[in-house]
Amino acid sequence: MDTLDETCDSFDIGGDLTVTRLGFGAMRLTGPNVLGEPADLARARRVLERGLELGVDFVDTADAYGPGTSERLLAEVGVPDEAVVATKGGLLRSPDGDWLRRGDPDYLQNAALCSLDRLGVDCIDLYQYHAPDPDVPIADAMAALGELKDRGLVRHVGVSNVSVDQLDRARDEVAVATVQNEYNVADRTHDGVLDVCEANDIGFIPYFPLGGGDLGSKADALEDVAAAHDATPRQVALAWLLDRSPVVLPIPGTSSVDHLEANVAAAALDLSADDVTRLD
């Protein structure tokens, strides 16, 4: 099958990290409920290896995935130097699976140091504040990440799960290279955030790009467009995201090589204006 560099255009994260726009989200390469190691480590490694073979050069992870499992797996597989690895800090994963926000500056800086160690790198390509902590001013959290950038420990800084107002306040403290919010063909809550990103050449990374397998309100339209292209509804959903804006960087995740290959093939779909109108 075609590789991504043959079918997908690129984006420059922070103006200098060029990636193909269809990346890979490594959250699913963990155990059940995003806790512990995957049941089949060899299979998880093979998914990562196959993605790299197909030209995936942007991989997104977080310290909370496992916790630590996903980052360690990336280090074990050995991502090429030319690929970009993004990770996140600011969420704790409790043993019962709760997500706990933690944004105090000392915690974030220590979390980044731990991620550096697990990833086995001297500098993290893109370090993202995973979710604003309501008990910590976002300016304080972003200033801490700005210090990491100044020290050369992270190359670019991103934010996740933010509103337009939070993004504006984050940008007052440090250059924001990317925003990662939930977004897909059926959930466009963050259209306003995407508009800000597009206007300022900030990468927009939609998580749950396939709605966790549930794109309910758009199911019929996706089925119809998919049939016309001999594709699957999920492939059409990814193609819609790539068509939505040149700053959009979808990161579909999977623990299956077959699903990975189907996701990569979505980059070759060319949606017509009529297709997009039906999906809109």
Q: How far apart are CA 254 and CA 123, in angstroms?
A: 26
Q: Are 113 and 73 in contact (CB under 8 A)?
A: no
**183 in catalytic set:** no
Q: Are 221 and 279 in contact (CB under 8 A)?
A: yes
Peptide linkage before 67 cis (omega within 30 of 0): yes
| Residues facing 156 on adjacent strands | 126
Diameter over CA atoms, the chain: 53
- Rounded Cα distance between 114 and 141, Å, is 17
Catalytic residue among 65, 127, 183, 207: 65
| Residue 272 DSSP SS3 | coil
Q: What is the 3-state secondary structure (H, E, C) of 171-215?
A: HHHCCEEEEEEECECCECCCHHHHHHHHHCCCEEEEECCCHHHCC
Paired tokens of 35: 């806790």
Q: Which of 133, 177, 127 is nearest to 151 (CA)?
A: 127
Strand residue runs (E) in the chain: 10-13, 17-20, 24-25, 58-60, 84-89, 91-93, 99-101, 124-129, 154-160, 176-182, 203-207
Residues with a known catalytic role: 65
